[in-house]
Amino acid sequence: MITLNAGSSSLKFALFDIQDDGIAETFRGQVEGLHTDAAEFSVKAAPGSDMPSFAPRPTVSASHVAALHEVLDFVHHHGGERKIVGVGHRIVHGGTKFTKPLRVDEDALLELRTLIPLAPLHQTHNIRCILAARKVFPAAVQVACFDTAFHRSHTWENDTFGLPPEYYDAGVRRYGFHGLSYEHLVDELRGFAPEIAEGRVIMAHLGNGASMCAMKEGRSVSSTMSFTPLDGLAMGTRCGQIDAGVVLHLLTERRMSVDAVTQLLHRGSGLKGMSGFSHDVRDLEKTDTPGARGALTYFVHRARYEIGALTAVLGGLDALVFSGGIGEHAADLRARICAGFDWLGLSLDAQRNARHERLLSADTSRVKIFVVAANEEKTIAEHTLSFLPPRQESRLPPHERSDVGERS
C-alpha cells in the first residue's frame, strides 16, 4: 500500500506493508524544491526494513507531473515482491461535502474537479496523482483523504466571514487545512498524554506550509488557515494574513494581473519574499542580513499573535504542540515563539528544547509544551486500510505493470 501527498512545492510518498495487527512502514521519500532549480529526490527506509536509504540527490523532476512519474517508477521498481492493493491520496480540499475519506470512483473524481477553484495550486496536483496511480496500479483501491475534513466540527462563528449569508451558503467560508496532520497529532497525544489531549490544546504545524489549530476534546475548534491555505501564519513562500484591500490595490493601482498577484501571494511572499533569497529557515538562521532577520522576526510575531488569539477562542490553554519541519527542528524559533508567555503559565525549558526532547516545558510550567513528529502518511495509510477487503496480503508475486501514460 502506498500514500501520495502532493504539496505546493513537494511530493511525498510512503510504502506500507499490511500485517495482521495493522500496517508497518517500509520506506518513505519525497521530491522537494519543485518549481525551482534545486529539486531533490530522497528516500528513507524504516528501521528494520529491507530497503536502502537514498540521500538527497538532484533530480530533473522540477514539476509535480515529472516528480509524480519518478515516484511511481521508484515504488514499482523498489517495492520488492509487493502487490500494491491500495493507494491513499492526500486531497487538500473537500469543500462542504467531503467530511471523511472515501473510495475514489468516477463520480468522486467529478466532484473533486469542481473544487479546483477553491485550491487551484493544490487540487489539480492531487487529482493528477489519482489519475496516474490508477494507470500504474489499476487493481489497487484508490482512497481520497481530505485535509479540510478534520475542521468540519467548527461552529458557524469560527467558519464564517463578515459577508452576507448567501456567500457562506455558496461555500465562501473558513475551511482550515493540515487536517490529516492534526488528526495524527491528536492520536499521538492521546497515546502519551490522554488527559491533556482532551483539554485545550493548540497544535502548531510549522513547515513550508504553516498553520495552527485550536482543539478541545481532540476536535478542531478554530484554525489559522481559512478559505485557502494562504491565511494566517507567514509561510515558506505564502504571505499568510493580509488585508483584502492590499489585493485590490495590487490589481487596480499597481495594474498587476490576477496571475501575477496569485504568483506573488503563493510563491513570492513569506520567508522567501521577505528575505529575498530563501524559504528555508536553516538558510535564514545562517545569514545575518536585514532580510533574513526580518523574515524570521515576522514569522515569530505571527506565531505568537495566533497563539494569543487561539487561546482566547479556547478560553485558556493546557498544551502547545509543535510539529512539522520547523516545529520539530528549529529550536531557536521555538524558544522565540514561547518567550514572554509566563503570564499564560507557559514556560520553555532551554535544555530540553536544545535536545529536541518530546516534553519541552519547564517543570514549573502549567501549560505543557511538546514536540510530536508529523506523519500524515500514517494517517492516510490507516484510512486506506479501512477500505480494503479483510486479510489482504501485501507480499504477492509482482503484478504486470501498466504503462504510466503520456507524461504531460
364 phi, psi to nearest 5 deg: -85, -5
Contacts 24+ apart (CB under 8 A), 340-344: 340/304, 341/304, 341/307, 341/367, 344/311, 344/317
Q: Looking at 20, 37, 105, 147, which residue is catalytic? A: 147
Residues 6+ apart with CB under 8 A from 336: 296, 300
How many angstroms separate the Cα of 145 from the Cα of each of 96, 112, 224, 322? Answer: 14, 12, 21, 23
Residue that the C-alpha cell 485550491 belongs to: 119
How many angstroms separate the Cα of 326 from the Cα of each of 182, 282, 300? Answer: 16, 9, 12
Q: Yes or no: say if 334 and 361 are a contact pair by the CB < 8 Å rule.
A: no
Q: Yes or no: say if 346 and 362 are a contact pair by the CB < 8 Å rule.
A: no
Query: Is 147 part of the annotated catalytic residue set?
Result: yes
Integer Cα distance of 289 and 295 in angstroms: 10
- The residues that are catalytic are 147
